Structure 1
Amino acid sequence: MTQTGIPYIFMRGGTSRGPYFRRADLPKDRATLAEVLIAAVGSGHPLNIDGIGGGAAVTTKVAMLSVSEDDWADVDYFFAQVSVEDRLVDFKPTCGNILSGVGPAAIEMGLITPTGDETEVRIRAVNTGAKVLARVQTPGGALTYDGQTEIAGVPGAAAPVALNFMGVVGSSTGKFLPTGNLRDVIDGIEVTCMDVAMPIAIARAQDFGLTGYETAADLDANTEFFARFEAIRIEAGKRMGLGDVTKSVIPKFALLAPAKDGGTIAARYFMPWNTHPSMAVTGSQCLASCALTPGTVADGMLDRPTQSPANVVLEHPSGTIEVLVDFNTADGFSLNSAGLLRTARKLADGNVFVPSRIWKGA
């Protein structure tokens, strides 16, 4: 055989999609694993023509599941971000949108048995250590994808997947404010470096001569802006203790602006080398925390909620995303948990094939 078949489920999770594997069906060592994922996705071509990727960062994501080694959790979720063109795999971050499909995929794989009309799945995000309680719809003990929940960036409606994120502060750096400051100045731009579910360098759109309401396509076409913020992002990564982030997707970068469509605040999120078409689940938690924290670059852009829990509505290129933030302000701002409502859908299953010269199989 010149190819190795690997069982997988192809799923949409939130506003992302990709293959979901059993971790046991993949190579143990990271170097070989990376080559297998590059081949499966087809990284190295703008259309991922030789793989199952979709030619965008939101469609070259991978989930790997196993029975959890953590006493609290049921499922371990190991995430990989595969680049579209550069044949790179980043195992540092996690993805909350892909996590939306972890509960349903775990049931599909037989890792979880439905427990009633709604099944709770306790998930440990291996990359960051975050703990997430997912509530999946299983009426009569059977998994369903049908429902009436709509999310911006996805056509139609589907069954809701409720996510409650815990232990997300300092996900990658161990600190809420990795630089120790509410604001830093980098290349003349004020930036809040914050780590909640995802480390992000956050700035004001107006400081780049932008409104913050631009479409993703308009921002992607602004190469001068991308070059400027990439230099800031790289320096922010050093200050946040992440080292040389030139080839890493973290920290992410984001812009804030006053809301214009009835939300709490407007946001644009970068992945980081292109604009997210909607909003990342992990990123939304960090941006909501930034909005709620006095002294950050969000000051003056919103009427800051003071009662917990607060429903923070982020306006993004495709609509809005709501984050229910449980926090306290007894000693500055501190986050207890963040809740979001997403959807997921199984698209296909079977085997994905990679050349046997890369890996001959388990």
Structure 2
Amino acid sequence: MSQTAIPFLFMRGGTSRGPYLNRADLPEDLETLAEVLIAMVGSGHPLNIDGIGGGAAVTSKVAMLSRSADGWADVDYFFAQVSVEDRLVDFKPTCGNILSGVGPAAIEMGLVPVQDGETPVNIRAVNTEARVAAMVQTPGGQVSYEGDTRIDGVPGTSAPVALQFMETVGGVTGAFLPTGNLVDVIDGVEVTCMDVAMPMIIARAESLGLTGYESAAELDENADFFARMEALRIKAGALMGMGDVSSSVTPKFGVLAPATKGGTIATRYFMPWKTHPTMAVTGAQCLAACVLTPGTVADGLAAKPNVTPAPITLEHASGTIDVLVDYAQAENGFTIKSAGLVRTARKLVQGSVFVPAGTWGGH
């Protein structure tokens, strides 16, 4: 046989898209797994012409699911970011948008028993050890993808998937503030390095010569900005204890500016070598935490809610995203307890995806 068939669901999760696979149907060792995912997505061509990727970072993502041995979780979610052109796979980060489809996919795969009405799915994000409680709409014992919930960056409406993110602080670096500082100065730019759901470097847009209101296309054309940002990111990654991050998509980068559309604050998020067309779910949590934490680069840019949980609305390149942050503030510090978001997902294709047998011959 010249090709190996692998069962898959192809789903939109939030504002991202990709294959959802059963981990048991894939090679165990990461080196072979990476080659399989590269072949599957078609990495190595700007259009992913020889695979099912969409030629963009938000459409070359992979979710791998399995029943969890964790006492709390129902399903383990292992994420892979496959590069569009460089034939690279990064297993370090997680993705909250793709996670939006994990609950529905786990039920569709038979990994989680369905209930009538709504089905709770507890998810362990393997890459970062975050725990996420998802609530999936399952009227009549079937996953529903139809509803009235709208998210910016996706046309139309769908059934809501409620997500509650827990234990997200320090998932990658082991610390809320990996450098130990609320603000660091790198190459003359003030930044906050923070690890909540996703390790990030966050700066004021004006400190990098931006307004913070540019479109994603305008930012992607700004080669000087990206060169400066990447230099900052590499130096900050080392300060955060992450080593050489030049070939890793983490830490991510974000910029802040005062809100102009009724939100809490204006944001732009980078993946990091392209501008995110909307906003990452994980990045939204980190940016919201930065807004709420006294003494960060966000100080003075936004009016902070004085309630908890605190509603934070982030303006992004395609609209807004709402994050509800449960936090505690005391004399001995600031603690993020959990963050809640509502996203949507939709099953697009179900069947088999094929990779060359020379890449992997199957089990």
* CA deviation after TM superposition for structure 1 residue 306, in Å: 2.1
Alignment match, 1:354 = 355
Alignment match, 1:48 = 48
Tell me the SS of whatever aligns to 2:174.
Answer: coil
Tell me the SS of whatever aligns to 1:168.
Answer: coil
TM-score with structure 1 setting the length: 0.99
Percent identical among aligned pairs is: 72
Tell me the SS of whatever aligns to 1:338.
Answer: strand
Alignment match, 1:126 = 126
* CA deviation after TM superposition for structure 1 residue 116, in Å: 2.2
- More divergent stretch after superposition (324-333 vs 131-140): 324-333
Alignment match, 1:336 = 337
TM-score with structure 2 setting the length: 0.99
Q: Deviations over 1:13-71 (max 9, x none)?
A: 00000000000000000000000000000000000000000000000000000000211
The one-letter amino acid paired with 2:342 is: L
1: CA distance, partners of 2:262 / 2:335: 26
The one-letter amino acid paired with 1:213 is: Y
Q: Are 2:320 and 1:320 aligned?
A: yes
- More divergent stretch after superposition (86-95 vs 135-144): 135-144
* CA deviation after TM superposition for structure 1 residue 332, in Å: 2.6
1: CA distance, partners of 2:89 / 2:241: 20
Structure 1 segment 99-178 matched on structure 2, within 5 A: 99-178=99-178
1: CA distance, partners of 2:233 / 2:102: 30
Q: Are 2:34 and 1:24 aligned?
A: no
Listed as ranges, the gaps of 5+ residues in structure 2 are: none
Q: Deviations over 1:142-189 (max 9, x none)?
A: 211000000000000000000000000001001000000000000000
The one-letter amino acid paired with 1:40 is: M
Tell me the SS of whatever aligns to 1:165.
Answer: strand
Q: Deviations over 1:181-236 (max 9, x none)?
A: 00000000000000000000000000111110000000000000000000000000
Q: Deviations over 1:308-329 (max 9, x none)?
A: 1110000000100000000010
Q: Are 2:209 and 1:209 aligned?
A: yes
* CA deviation after TM superposition for structure 1 residue 333, in Å: 1.8
The one-letter amino acid paired with 1:339 is: G
2: CA distance, partners of 1:111 / 1:302: 43
1: CA distance, partners of 2:273 / 2:209: 19
Tell me the SS of whatever aligns to 1:229.
Answer: helix
2: CA distance, partners of 1:303 / 1:271: 27
Alignment RMSD (CA, Å): 0.5
2: CA distance, partners of 1:243 / 1:74: 33
Alignment match, 1:310 = 310
Moved over 6 A (4+): none
Q: Are 2:93 and 1:62 aligned?
A: no
Tell me the SS of whatever aligns to 1:227.
Answer: helix
Structure 1 segment 263-302 matched on structure 2, within 5 A: 263-302=263-302
Q: Are 2:237 and 1:250 aligned?
A: no
Tell me the SS of whatever aligns to 2:333.
Answer: coil
Q: Are 2:240 and 1:240 aligned?
A: yes
Listed as ranges, the gaps of 5+ residues in structure 1 are: none
The one-letter amino acid paired with 1:305 is: P
Q: Deviations over 1:209-268 (max 9, x none)?
A: 111000000000000000000000000000000000000000000000000000000100
Tell me the SS of whatever aligns to 2:351.
Answer: strand
2: CA distance, partners of 1:332 / 1:241: 22
Tell me the SS of whatever aligns to 1:329.
Answer: strand
The one-letter amino acid paired with 1:292 is: L
Tell me the SS of whatever aligns to 1:337.
Answer: strand
1: CA distance, partners of 2:71 / 2:334: 29
Q: Deviations over 1:51-105 (max 9, x none)?
A: 0000000000000000002110000000000000000000000000000000000
Q: Deviations over 1:107-136 (max 9, x none)?
A: 110111112201100000000000000000
- More divergent stretch after superposition (111-120 vs 254-263): 111-120
How many residues are matched?
Answer: 362
Q: Are 2:160 and 1:180 aligned?
A: no
Q: Deviations over 1:268-323 (max 9, x none)?
A: 00000000000000000000000001100001101112211110000000100000
The one-letter amino acid paired with 1:344 is: A
